[in-house]
Structure 1
Amino acid sequence: VSNNGDIAFTLADTQRPADIATIKRGKAERLTSLNSDALGDKQLAKVEEIWLKSSYDQLPIQGWIAYPPGFDKSKKYPLVLEIHG
């Protein structure tokens, strides 16, 4: 954070790995496009957030489903489960 309140941070989402961004006067601006050359012609997975309840203690568990590019819900796909944390 600068003396005038500007903030620099990394900005990422499911379609773009982290870039450098700033918030100036309350407005966010992406400053870099570090992976545009590698991702420019790629179609990435559509990512959807899901919430489930633990069968052990009923606490909420956050998860994500990443659909393959060109996903067709009438077809079957293998499931890859990654547990972390």
Structure 2
Amino acid sequence: MTVSVLKPKIIKPERVVTPQCCAEVEPPTHATMWRRDRYKKLRPQFDPDRCQRESTLDIEGKPYCRIHAGQLALDRWLSGELVVKEC
């Protein structure tokens, strides 16, 4: 009898913990307290007034998630602060 592996064993990589995204989030005016209470319970180590995602990028020394880093990059591109670099 021969035994062969048809599907390789999947090894999940270790989770990398990064700081909270530094983008300030403006909640709807009717749900300010709800947001604070909910996010304090879900992630007590995070500031409930900021984005609840972990950061993936560092822009000028501040941690941002991909969504807010993309918004920042697009704003800078449209204002002319970012230019295409010739290689």
Q: TM-score, normalised by structure 2?
A: 0.22
Q: TM-score, normalised by structure 1?
A: 0.22
Q: Between Structure 1 and Structure 2, which shows a larger proportion of helix residues?
A: 2
Larger Rg: 2
